């Protein structure tokens, strides 16, 4: 099937040059869910672009009848981040002009929804599909006020324009997938939200982290938080509901690199997820998830280790290792300026767990990130 391709104007630069988003829409023969997939929101995290390319190549080979609903794909979704350089390196995590993380800028309806209790009461006995539609309408009405501000003479800072343009494409999606990787070097894993473990397994990854503590300004959080809040509010009034609305962030390997293995896992995971969710309707297509063991952990059980002294990191434990409390994680080679010989400082694990993320740069100033352990 052939996608509809749309170019969306994003920003005009001081030089007069213009930045765009490009959106690929695959529209199925039957109505169904809307899936929104983007990549490269953080500038150094490029692996997802290859995933989207392979998904496009795959979707080109199937027919409209094999797709229920729509799949929208936006690769290189943040040109400002992707194009940023510092010598050979791609930082790309922050909007430097506003000193903001590109993935902590999104509009979270829950933060302004002060009438959630009244809304819940008014919807308590309605069919879930109707509630979903009514709530989405309310969210969209609030969201539209941002456009008025953008179009006013005083306008708004760029991060608000940018977040509006991405959320405008994705706000009414049923399933949202944001493709990231570590800015450093990490395992392949996903972030998920509460009560979504069963669907998390569809991605056939080894490892998932439940986001149990978050502020709501990340892309996935801003999307799903209002729906989780409404589910919780219904529960308080004695009705257990669960919307078929899901948000995922996949972390695929390392920054500034496209590792074939990480890309392959991403493509396999997204395809299997879409098949399990009934978006892709291809006979005998789904992977067998019953045999796949997935380890779940919580984001609040992550421990980041920051350098206790300035120096060079050596003898660091391998990425993906399991560690026990007291075991050596790494050494710092420290050239003190006290007229003494160089010294070696051992740093040990404070908890049992899995080393899931390690810094690319093995030179550290005191207080810089060295590695992450999750238990
Ligand atoms: Zn990221």
As a three-state string, the secondary structure of 9-69 is EEEECCCCCEEEEEEEEEECCEEEEEEEEEECCCCCCCHHHHHHHHHHHHHHHCCHHHEEE
Residues 162 and 91 in one domain: yes
Residues 238 and 318 in one domain: no
Cα gap 259→83, rounded to integer Å: 20
**Total number of domains in the chain:** 2
Residues 93 and 197 in one domain: yes
pTM equals 0.96
Ligand 1 centroid – CA 259 distance (Å): 16
Residues 264 and 247 in one domain: yes
Ligand 1 centroid – CA 302 distance (Å): 16
Supply 129's token pair: 């599909």
Mean pLDDT in consecutive groups of 10 residues from the start of the chain, 375 residues: 98 98 98 98 98 98 97 98 94 96 96 92 97 97 96 97 98 98 96 93 94 89 96 96 97 97 97 96 78 88 96 97 97 93 97 96 97 96
Ligand 1 centroid – CA 220 distance (Å): 11
Ligand 1 centroid – CA 77 distance (Å): 12
Ligand 1 centroid – CA 106 distance (Å): 14
Residues 206 and 339 in one domain: no
pLDDT at residue 216, rounded to an integer = 78
**Which of 275, 293, 311 marks a domain boundary?**
293
**Which of 257, 274, 293 marks a domain boundary?**
293
Cα gap 367→39, rounded to integer Å: 30
Ligand 1 centroid – CA 2 distance (Å): 30
Residues 218 and 177 in one domain: yes
Residues 370 and 231 in one domain: no
- Residue 93 phi, psi (nearest 5): -90, -25
Does residue 303 contact residue 372 with C-beta atoms inside 8 Å? yes
Residues 257 and 342 in one domain: no
Residues 361 and 232 in one domain: no
Ligand 1 centroid – CA 182 distance (Å): 6
**Which of 293, 321, 355 marks a domain boundary?**
293
CATH number at residue 132: 3.40.630.10
Ligand 1 centroid – CA 50 distance (Å): 15
Ligand 1 centroid – CA 102 distance (Å): 9
pLDDT at residue 289, rounded to an integer = 67
Burial 56-92 (b: 16+ CB within 10 A, else e): eeebeebeeebbbbbbbbbbbbbbbbbebeeeeebbb
Ligand 1 centroid – CA 179 distance (Å): 8
Q: If we measure between CA atoms, which residue out of 26, 146, 12 comes closest to residue 79?
A: 12
Ligand 1 centroid – CA 218 distance (Å): 10
The strand pairing partners of 38, in sequence order, are 74, 178
Which residues have C-beta within 8 Å of that of residue 14, sequence separation ≥ 6?
A: none
Ligand 1 centroid – CA 349 distance (Å): 25
Structural domain of 118: 4-293
Does residue 359 contact residue 313 with C-beta atoms inside 8 Å? yes
């Amino acid at each position: 099937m052939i996608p509809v391709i749309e170019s969306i104007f994003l920003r005009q630069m001081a030089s007069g040059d213009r930045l765009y988003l490009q959106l690929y829409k695959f529209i199925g023969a039957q109505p169904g869910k809307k899936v929104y997939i983007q990549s490269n929101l953080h500038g150094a995290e490029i692996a997802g672009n290859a995933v989207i390319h392979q998904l496009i190549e795959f979707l080109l080979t199937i027919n409209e009848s094999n797709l229920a609903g729509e799949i929208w794909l936006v690769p290189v979704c943040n040109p400002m981040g992707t194009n940023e350089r510092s010598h050979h390196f791609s930082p790309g995590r922050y909007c430097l002009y506003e000193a903001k993380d590109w993935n902590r800028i999104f509009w979270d309806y829950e933060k302004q929804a002060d009438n959630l209790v009244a809304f819940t009461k008014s919807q308590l006995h309605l069919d879930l599909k109707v509630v979903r539609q009514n709530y989405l309408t309310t969210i969209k009405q609030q969201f539209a006020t941002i456009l008025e501000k953008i179009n006013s003479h005083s306008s708004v800072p760029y991060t608000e324009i940018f977040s509006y343009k991405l959320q405008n494409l994705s706000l009414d999606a049923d399933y949202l997938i944001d493709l990231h990787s570590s800015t450093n070097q990490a395992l392949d894993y996903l972030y998920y939200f509460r009560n979504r473990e069963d669907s998390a397994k569809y991605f056939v990854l080894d490892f998932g982290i439940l986001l149990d503590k978050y502020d709501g300004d990340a892309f996935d959080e801003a999307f799903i938080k209002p729906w989780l809040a409404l589910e919780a509010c219904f529960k308080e009034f004695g009705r257990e509901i669960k919307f078929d609305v899901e948000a995922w962030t996949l972390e695929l390997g390392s920054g500034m690199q496209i590792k074939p293995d990480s890309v392959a896992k991403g493509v396999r995971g997204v395809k299997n997820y879409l098949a399990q969710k009934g978006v892709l309707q291809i006979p005998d297509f789904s992977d067998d998830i019953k045999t796949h063991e997935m380890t779940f952990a919580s984001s609040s059980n992550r421990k980041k280790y920051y350098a206790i002294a300035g120096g060079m990191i050596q003898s660091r434990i391998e990425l993906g290792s399991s560690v026990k409390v007291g075991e050596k994680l790494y050494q710092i080679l420290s050239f003190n300026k006290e007229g003494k010989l160089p010294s070696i400082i051992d740093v040990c694990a404070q908890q049992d767990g899995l080393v899931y993320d390690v810094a690319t740069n093995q030179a550290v100033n005191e207080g810089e990130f060295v590695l992450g352990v999750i238990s």
